[in-house]
Structure 1
Amino acid sequence: MSDFKTVIYSRPEGVDVALDYALPAGASARAPAPILLWFHGGGLLQGFRKVMPPHIQRAPQRGLCVVSADYRLAPQTRLPGIMADIKACIEYLRSAEFAAETGGAVDQKKIVVSGGSAGGWLALLLASGIGFKECGMEPPAHPAACAAIYPITDITDRFWTTPQRPVSYLGTEVDREPLLPYLDPEAPKTSYSLPTDARSQMYHYMLQEGIEQQLLLGGGEEGASVGVSPASFRIAAGIGSGKFVLPPTYIIHGTLDDKVPPRQSEEVAHAAEAVGLPIELDLVEGADHLFDFDEGVQMDAMYKFIKSVL
């Protein structure tokens, strides 16, 4: 497994936001490696950059500089703040500071954005520029490509707004009491949570209550609204409007995913195809959410796509 080094790429409101990176063997200023930027999932409510699928950990062996980045978590940081974090992240990867950090061994013009679940959504937002202006900032320059893994793509979908009691895949209800410290929008801000934390139940609780919009953007019982519509972050609608474009994009989703519906990916693929944007949708028959965390899953089709666009 590759050795990863940690760097603080941003410090908004005094919160350290870190990334880990690993260079492939042989990368140098004369032979710089393309960058694969990966964001973890967790509904933007939980998660940690160090919890990577095995294939991401092994990706330096495919000649890629792998970057796994944290971002501040909701509801303590709302979606506009998270958008600021991912913009800061890709801008750091393009900076002279990161070039110096890596000894010039990265090709900063060849960045592929990726991520799983909510992290796949962040990758698609970065790739397309959707949602940034509504959050009060200019979108960063487009990356070379996007590879989204079972991504969330539209939180106005009924899946995110219809309570599930019990949560379909758990068969039981999630207790609110242990989550109160994490549901409080005024609690201290953080950029990661460990899998052993009670916070690791936030995604299940969010689905149980149907409150993803409120946790990310405020409103209702979940604190003051930030005044940005959840429709501002719809990937398929944004692409279909003709106002946004995607670089070459690959999306992979399991047909049996009950944590993020496959239709979220299908809608984006159909919208991109309708306006002539380059997109590849890979539906994996019988696969569930997080299928790529299996040690034996190589994701060869995704890496073939990445190689083809670089």
Structure 2
Amino acid sequence: MNKKEELLKIFSIKLRNILAKAELDYELLQEIRLRVNAPLLIVYDNKEYFLTEQSELSRCGEDSYLLTKNELKETMEYISNYSLYAFEEELKQGFLTITGGHRVGIAGKTVLEENRLKSIKHISFINIRLSHQIKGCANKVIPLIMENGNCLHTLIISPPCCGKTTLLRDIIRQISDGEKDRGGLTVGVVDERSEIGACYMGVPQNDLGIRTDVLDCCPKAKGMLMLIRAMSPRVIAVDEVGSKEDIEAIEYVINCGCKLIATVHGNSLQDVKGKPLLRKLIEDRLFERYILLSNKGSVGHLEEVYDRDGIEIYSKTGGGL
């Protein structure tokens, strides 16, 4: 089943027909947003479009198809196979992961129990984020973060929507699989939001390599410690670090001799230094490589790479690979 068929089956019959007739390359389709009494909206090739009832793309919301409450309800029934109760634990996180690794974010009325989120009902907002793998997008990065057959402690710095998770995913795959002249390494992945491996029923839908173990929907700090104690990884990979607990776990991982690859939102190395918790890691020179991405060019577009002393070792304008 291809990506288009995989996705269309989760929508109401009406929405399925509109999307099926639209001229879309599903490799460029990034998000499909459904809101009760609001226009059908998609993010396509990094641009926002509305879809009309005639399946035409429009930049004007006035011509777009308006979603009804029944269509959202029908869509959720298909997504959950008519049993939202079976997904109660996932609903507490505000999203479901479906076949193919696509993530369905939901919003509506929250139900609290002893000040904790128990569930979400009256779901009126759905955001389907398509999972995309771009194998080979880390080809330029791998030689810069590998040394004598081992991985260097690496921090990927990127503004939102610049492909940092896509890049991280391919780095994990290449490190895990290895190459003819480089053996593979055991990698442990803490996938707190099911974005890296996109696990469905515990099985990663994305290719993370043959030597990779995944803790799905697990808090990063707890997951890093669990992997160290139980799975003996040579490398641990996590996405979007920043909390105090994350930083403490990172220090523990590094002091245990395990290599770490992490990502963080930021526009520059100086920007990240401005975050008090991360500043300490940088000042202590714990990371050996800093990978800076931008939204110029392809996904995971490499701007600059610095070593642990802040010395530039690669620049898209200054030579490089």
Same topology, TM > 0.5: no
Q: TM-score, normalised by structure 1?
A: 0.29
Return the structure number with greater strand share.
Answer: 2
Higher-Rg member (1/2): 2
Return the structure number with greater helix share.
Answer: 1
Structure number with higher relative contact order (C-alpha < 8 Å, ≥ 6 residues apart): 1
